[in-house]
Amino acid sequence: MDKIDHKSLLKPLYSPSAKEPVFADVPDMNFIMLDGKGNPNASQLYQDTVSALFQLSYAIKFFFKKSQGIDYSVMPLEGLWWVEDMSLFSIEDKDSWLWTMMIMQPEPVVQEQFEQQRQEVIKKKGTTILSNARFENYHEGFSVQMMHIGPYSAEGPNIARMHESARQNGYINFGKHHEIYLGDVRKTAPEKLKTVLRQPVKKI
């Protein structure tokens, strides 16, 4: 049985340049999503959210492998970050952050399998936080993005480079700051972590 690696199939979106910002037109994709608020470094809700998303994503994966002979790699954790007034967004003020953590679900996953496996995981694992999970199509569209290599705390200069590149090309930011976590923070040295930084943009 061949395993489908959607991260490789979508390489321009999951492995952009680490040297300079690049633009990409991001298509509609389906995600399992959970929302929260506050500093992720000090939040049990955040830790529980991440664990629950992976539990459910792996349950769905193994359902398809067992029932239909379809095997694929579970996609990486992604996060949308924002505040109510994005002009006040600050890297330093993490307590005010709103966030949606999510994992992309490839075809053939649809609402039916999501709901079935969500109920199974809640029943078997007691993962009640999944009562708030949703299966949602997310359209990001035209965006500027860049690979950041290093600790999360050092993302600021690359985010600034992305914003400046957008401005120089006649775009302004809109929507939510997006990050894709390609490394496991528990196993990878901070200086080697890889994170895709993405920001939707539109013409001025």
DSSP assignment of the chain equals -PEE-HHHHTHHHHS--SSS-EEEEEPPEEEEEEEEES-GGG-HHHHHHHHHHHHHHHHHHHHHHHHH--EEPPPPEEEEEE-SSGGG--SS-GGG-EEEEEEE--TT--HHHHHHHHHHHHHHH--GGGGG-EEEEE--EEEEEEEEES-GGG-HHHHHHHHHHHHHTTEEE-S-EEEEE-S-TTTS-GGG-EEEEEEEEEE-
pLDDT one-digit tens code per residue, 132-151: 999 999 999 999 999 999 99
Question: In CATH, which of 3.10.180.10, 3.40.50.10860, 3.20.80.10, 2.60.40.420 is domain 12-27+142-204?
Answer: 3.20.80.10
> Mean pLDDT in the chain?
95
What percent of the chain lies above the pLDDT cut of 70? 100
- Domain(s) labelled CATH 3.20.80.10 in the chain stretch across 12-27+142-204, 29-138
pLDDT for 1 equals: 67
Say what the pTM is. Answer: 0.95
pLDDT for 146 equals: 98
Domain 29-138 has CATH 3.20.80.10: yes
Better-predicted residue by pLDDT, 119 or 204: 119
pLDDT for 37 equals: 95
pLDDT of residue 90 exceeding 80 = no
Q: What is the mean pLDDT of residues 181-188?
A: 88
pLDDT of residue 2 exceeding 80 = no
Q: What is the mean pLDDT of residues 178-190?
A: 91
pLDDT band at 86 (very low <50, low <70, confident <90, very high): confident
